[in-house]
Amino acid sequence: MHLQIGGRGLRFYPAYLDREAQLEVLAAIRGVLASAPLFSPRMPKSGRPMSVGMSNCGPLGWFSDEGGYRYRREHPDTGRPWPFIPDPLLQVWRQVADYAHAPEACLINYYGPHAKMGLHQDRDEADFAAPVVSVSLGDSCLFRVGGDNRRDPTRSFRLNSGDVLVLGGDARLAFHGVDRIYPQTSTLLAKGGRINLTMRRVTRAPA
């Protein structure tokens, strides 16, 4: 069961992963972070650090610094290729993406109690036919989503641990962001905070 929000492309699956499945994904992500540690992305131009910690898995990883937003094949600090996307996440993609090809990138965002993410579009990918599939773990957040223009009206709702959100179709380029974290709303992460995983297709898929 999923809820449709706004147009057809935004699909919300509350509590998609039960506790056991969340722990399985978390253990896999801890494994990824052991070889691809969180780094601090910086804003294009200003170079100001973002409040979230990031890493990636998959052949390509999203990255941002003074030079702008882009995907890279290697971790910016270790220089090593990103680890593989863990199976339990690929399984979520296969179940909800409604897209024939595998994701190429899974961005890992870690939010401490004061982190947030400004309203933005995910548009650094060559192919918008594929959706962005988002998995939330740990503390809840207040998520905001609007339309294709920054000024379009937005709606806000909570994303809780285990929720899955799909931005596809007419919502693929919807502006979205995280206004705040609600600390201590989940016991999944021993030290608190929120992990969000977004799987994306980056290059144009073979026809």
Q: Which residues form the interface with Fe ion (CB under 5 A)?
A: 122
Contact 179, 116 (CB under 8 A): yes
- Assess 22 for contact with ligand SIN (CB under 6 A): no
Nearer CB in complex with Fe ion: 19/118: 118
Nearer CB in complex with ligand SIN: 28/135: 135
User: Which of ligand SIN, Fe ion, none interacts with 178 (beta carbon under 5 to 8 A by kind)?
Assistant: ligand SIN
- Assess 186 for contact with ligand SIN (CB under 6 A): no
Q: Can you name the residues that pair with 166 across neighbouring β-strands?
A: 11, 133
Nearer CB in complex with ligand SIN: 82/143: 143
Amino acid at 187: T
Within 58-104, strands assigned E span 61-65, 68-72
Site for ligand SIN in 149-178 (CB under 6 A): 159, 176, 178
User: Which of ligand SIN, Fe ion, none interacts with 172 (beta carbon under 5 to 8 A by kind)?
Assistant: none
Question: Could you tell me which residues come within 8 angstroms of residue 7 by beta carbon, excluding any fewer than 6 positions away?
Answer: 169, 170, 171
Nearer CB in complex with Fe ion: 24/65: 65
Residue 130 Cβ vs Fe ion, minimum distance, rounded to whole Å: 14
Cα separation, 175 vs 195, in Å, equals: 20
Find the binder of ligand SIN among 198, 200, 201, 202 (CB under 6 A). 198
User: Which of ligand SIN, Fe ion, none interacts with 199 (beta carbon under 5 to 8 A by kind)?
Assistant: none
Helices 19-35 and 87-96 meet at what angle, rounded to 10?
120
Nearer CB in complex with Fe ion: 24/127: 127
Question: Could you tell me which residues come within 8 angstroms of residue 69 by beta carbon, excluding any fewer than 6 positions away?
Answer: 44, 62, 63, 124
Question: Could you tell me which residues come within 8 angstroms of residue 31 by beta carbon, excluding any fewer than 6 positions away?
Answer: 83, 86
- Assess 109 for contact with ligand SIN (CB under 6 A): yes
User: Which of ligand SIN, Fe ion, none interacts with 134 (beta carbon under 5 to 8 A by kind)?
Assistant: ligand SIN
Contacts 24+ apart (CB under 8 A), 62-71: 62/105, 62/107, 62/124, 62/200, 65/41, 66/42, 68/44, 69/44, 69/124, 70/124, 71/105, 71/124, 71/202
- Assess 188 for contact with ligand SIN (CB under 6 A): no
Contact positions vs ligand SIN (CB under 6 A): 107, 109, 117, 134, 143, 159, 176, 178, 196, 198
